Amino acid sequence: MSPLLDQLEGLIKTGRPRESVLAQALVAVLADFHSETGTIHRLDAQNQVLKLVAQQGLPPQLLEVVGTIPVGKGIAGQVAAQNRPVTLCNLQTDTSGVARPGARQTGVGGALCVPMRRDGKLVGTLGVGTRREYEYTAEETARLEEAGRLLAPVCAFD
């Protein structure tokens, strides 16, 4: 197991409140990925929206925008809709239409967002972003997915 995954398991075992564990876990994930921004969204399946439960590095004016994301909209929404990772090499110049118009305000270049699954069921998304243009590798994607799998029980509605 990687040092990141060991660290996340340790955080989960502390018994701290959910919000504290997710916030600290996100800090650890960002350090491991050398990233400046990150989000964890919890899926509200009944209303088909993602709700922000932890974030690091987002500009204050974006917090309301990313606080609730419809499934299918934006990067995290696409991850939830497709139940698979979404990555962008440079969000600032991306023309795919995946990123929402306000996403450029983050200053993020490379972005990676993965589904968080509990017992095979989507419960949220975990995303990281870096200010530089960056293409995430298959190994990095797999590592972020594993981090999401470990954190999914903490993130899930019970």
The pTM of the full predicted model, rounded to 2 decimals, is 0.89
Counting the structural domains of the chain, the total is 1
Per-residue model confidence (pLDDT) at position 4: 94
More confidently predicted of 125 and 129: 125
pLDDT tens digit string along 2-30? 899 999 999 999 989 999 999 999 999 99
Q: Which pLDDT belongs to residue 54?
A: 96
Indicate whether 95 pLDDT > 50: no
> Is residue 41 left, alpha or beta, with left meaning phi > 0 and alpha meaning psi from -120 to 50?
beta
Adjacent-strand bridge partners of 52:
41
Sequential DSSP letters for 15-31: ---HHHHHHHHHHHHHH
| Whether the predicted pLDDT of 102 surpasses 70 | no
Tokens 């990095």 belong to residue: 140
Q: Quick one: pLDDT at residue 59?
A: 83
Task: Report the CATH number at residue 41.
Answer: 3.30.450.40
> Is residue 126 within 8 Å of 116, Cβ to Cβ?
yes
Q: What is the domain extent for residue 147?
A: 3-155
Q: Which of 67, 33, 35, 38 is nearest to 50 (CA)?
A: 67
Q: Return the pLDDT at 106.
A: 52
| 4-8, 64-68, 78-82: range with lowest mean pLDDT | 64-68
Place of tokens 């139940």: 83
Q: What is the pLDDT of residue 98?
A: 53
